[in-house]
Chains A and B, each alone.
Chain A
């Protein structure tokens, strides 16, 4: 059983398009996150979502918007994609202080 799953695994799209990445966790965790891993393999938090409270990293452009239909899902919607958005996006979830569990990542390529 996959604990944290993301779809799609690969996403290639043109500049200016709008796209979504879906994430689901079956661990019963109450907090979910989106991280971005850039071409230098640096990992940065984009959003965390806990009990309908959204915490935003201020450096994230407002073209990125997380949507959480329920506690087990946190989707990422991106408007007007730019070349610089190309990266691997990881969803994660956690409960308490035990660390986060990550999805397999979505490799986004904007052309």
Chain B
């Protein structure tokens, strides 16, 4: 069964502190992993894809197949990073619906 687990419902950090948003997944096969961000009352925006191994807005995420994890990290949090973050997976065959975690609300305190 496909499942994405984000154990933290809310994460509060001080500005300038490191951030790690946890994501674990369960999938029988090779999934595609993503992080999406949703700012207050806005659309979901694609933040990162594991296949592109990029850094967006200072965020990175590494796929660890051994631990079935895809944690999102940023060395120095900014106030504008405050948002809802969703980890998601889809099948590797393409055009399969995303399965989302329940989301983690990141609050960066000045």
Contact of B98 among A41, A42, A50, A100 (CB under 8 A): A100
Known interface pairs A48-B97, A94-B95, A97-B94; A42-B46 also in contact (CB < 8 Å): no
Question: Is A30 interfacial (CB 8 A cutoff)?
Answer: yes
Q: Are B43 and A105 in contact (CB under 8 A)?
A: yes
- Nearest neighbor of A31 in chain B, beta-carbon distance: B95
Contact of B86 among A31, A43, A94, A95 (CB under 8 A): A43
Q: Give A97 to B52 CA distance when docked, in angstroms.
A: 11
Count of chain A to chain B residue pairs whose CB atoms are closer than 8 Å in the complex: 58
- The A57-108 residues at the B interface (CB cut-off 8 A) are 90, 92, 94-105
Residues in chain B near residue A100, CB distance under 8 A: 46, 98
Q: Give A92 to B105 CA distance when docked, in angstroms.
A: 22
Contact of A99 among B46, B92, B99 (CB under 8 A): B46
- The A23-66 residues at the B interface (CB cut-off 8 A) are 30-31, 33, 40-45, 48, 50, 55
- The B6-52 residues at the A interface (CB cut-off 8 A) are 32, 34, 36, 42-46, 49, 51
Question: Is B102 interfacial (CB 8 A cutoff)?
Answer: yes
- The B88-110 residues at the A interface (CB cut-off 8 A) are 88, 90, 92-100, 102-103, 105
Question: Is B84 interfacial (CB 8 A cutoff)?
Answer: yes
Known interface pairs A50-B95, A99-B32, A104-B43; A43-B49 also in contact (CB < 8 Å): no
Q: Are B44 and A96 in contact (CB under 8 A)?
A: no
Q: Are A97 and B86 in contact (CB under 8 A)?
A: no
- Nearest neighbor of B52 in chain A, beta-carbon distance: A98
Q: Are B103 and A99 in contact (CB under 8 A)?
A: no
Q: Are A97 and B90 in contact (CB under 8 A)?
A: yes
Residues in chain A near residue B45, CB distance under 8 A: 102
Show the binding face of B for A, using Cβ within 8 Å.
32, 34, 36, 42-46, 49, 51, 84, 86, 88, 90, 92-100, 102-103, 105
Can you spell out 15 A-B residue pairs with CB atoms less than 8 angstroms apart?
Answer: A40-B102, A42-B102, A43-B86, A43-B100, A48-B96, A50-B95, A55-B97, A92-B44, A96-B94, A97-B51, A99-B98, A100-B98, A102-B36, A102-B44, A103-B43
